Amino acid sequence: MKKQGNGMIKSIVIGVILVGLVAGYYYYLSNVKPRKDDSEEVKITAVQEVLTRNLDNNYPPTPREVVKYFGELTQCLIGESYTDEEFGNLALQIQKLYDDELVANKTQQQYLEDLKWDIHNFTEEGVVISSYSPASSVDVEEFQQDGFKWAKLQCSFTLRKGTQIQALTEIFLLRKDDEGHWKIYGWQPEEE
């Protein structure tokens, strides 16, 4: 009988321990504060997003991609909010897309003042770039002239002022530099 009494005591002790473990685990789960999910993304602005691109390591590989990135940067400059520091970074990022000859046409100070003036005029008129669309890759005209590789393509910009919409098509001329990067040599409005 003693053995049966010891077995019953052991069963009761084990049962109490198991009930205690289950109750403790339930208490732990009920009172644990949820951890912040590490996968939650920090929201960044459109300006911050276009500025994340490192052109030294990730330069656009085609004329179309160069003009597309130019469009992204321009759309941010004309229509987005940004700090003075972000403005300077956007201006420098666009300038990295320009051919050396285009950059040499103005001092850095003139370039920044002219860019601010252009943006101010768009802002005063209430005009924003609502979209842009570079020509498809098959519509890029590549040719050689004066020992350089050139590319020519259209990019359509949709400008919005209030409820009014206006389409503007620009013709971009790009030249390949010594590093094999397509650089914007210039652009002009398409003649109708």
Could you say which residues of the chain have pLDDT below 70? 1-8, 13, 15-16, 18, 20-26, 33-41, 192
Q: What is the mean pLDDT of the chain?
A: 88
Domain boundaries along the sequence of the chain: 46-189
pLDDT digits (tens, 9 = 90+) for 102-119: 999 999 999 999 999 999
CATH of domain 46-189: 3.10.450.50
Q: Where are the beta strands (DSSP E) in the chain?
A: 127-134, 141-145, 148-161, 164-176, 182-189
pLDDT digits (tens, 9 = 90+) for 57-77: 999 999 999 999 999 999 999
* Measured CA distances, 128 to 54, 79, 80, 147 (Å): 26, 5, 9, 39
